[in-house]
Amino acid sequence: MQKMGANEIIFLGDAVGYIPSMRVVDHLISIDDKVICLLGNHEDMLIRGDISAEKDKVYQFSKTKKMMDLTHLEYIEKWKLSHSMVRPIGKLLFVHGSPNDPLYDYVYPDSDLSKYNTDADFVFMGNSHHPFIRKYQDTTFINVGSCGLPRDDGRYGSVVLFDDKTGVTRVIRFDICEASARTLVEYNNIHVSVTNLFDRKKQELFGELYGE
């Protein structure tokens, strides 16, 4: 992202879950002065601990909590539900879920956008892991997808590069196959419902493939 000109980074949540590891959180801590982190539903569930044993087989929060120390917990607890800023192109709103429910709402490429009341010119979301760019009335809704667990095509993670002067928005896709394969070998107890996501393929990939 920095090579492509990004000078600010907004992380939209879900640094934990599915894979029992604190590596993403550790990395975010190491670049804390360069990134704004928002709370995802995974962090919320991890902190509150209100998840059934059956669901925990998928999310693996019990194992993840054993890897956490006070530094991790205090860092995550500082994350906000949403972040707003006013830039030359207009007002920007960043959430994990949606303007109506910043944590738990899922907005998909075919979701009804008329139910979201916001004064933002651009809304950035991520919870559904399905990248898209759609405009409804005066607001452009942008789902950034997922860096490491895309749900449209499991071969390609995604980030969004946004020009706050012109409003030009680019969904950048990048190959995660090798990284995913290494993860699946290292963590061989990932739930099958999660590992199956990496096998998903689409004929038409939404966004630009990095390097092409």
Is the pLDDT at 212 greater than 80? The verdict is: no
pLDDT at res. 50: 83
Residue 162 · residue 121 · CB < 8 Å: no
Tokens at residue 31, please?
Answer: 């670049």
In a 10 Å sphere around its CB, with 0-12 CB exposed, 13-18 middle and 19+ buried, how is residue 210 labelled? Answer: middle
pLDDT at res. 176: 97
pLDDT at res. 2: 84
- Residue 167 lies inside a defined structural domain of this protein: yes
> Each residue of 127-186: pLDDT tens digit?
999 999 999 999 999 999 999 999 999 999 999 999 999 999 999 999 999 999 999 999
**% the chain with pLDDT above 70:** 100
**Model pTM?**
0.95
- Residue 49 lies inside a defined structural domain of this protein: yes
Which residues have C-beta within 8 Å of that of residue 51, sequence separation ≥ 6?
A: 45, 59, 61
Distances (CA, A) of 174 to 71, 133, 148, 159, 206: 31, 18, 10, 9, 11
Query: 11 falls in which pLDDT band (50, 70, 90)?
Result: very high
Which residues have C-beta within 8 Å of that of residue 13, sequence separation ≥ 6?
A: 37, 38, 39, 40, 41, 42, 43, 79, 96, 126, 127
User: How many domains does the chain fold into?
Assistant: 1
- Residue 172 lies inside a defined structural domain of this protein: yes
Range of the domain at 40: 9-198
- Residue 1 lies inside a defined structural domain of this protein: no
Which residues have C-beta within 8 Å of that of residue 94, sequence separation ≥ 6?
A: 10, 12, 36, 38, 82, 83, 84, 123, 124
- Residue 208 lies inside a defined structural domain of this protein: no
- Residue 80 lies inside a defined structural domain of this protein: yes
CA–CA separation, 157 and 209 (whole Å): 10
- Residue 203 lies inside a defined structural domain of this protein: no
Is the pLDDT at 1 greater than 90? The verdict is: no
Q: What is the CATH number of the domain that holds 72?
A: 3.60.21.10
- Residue 2 lies inside a defined structural domain of this protein: no
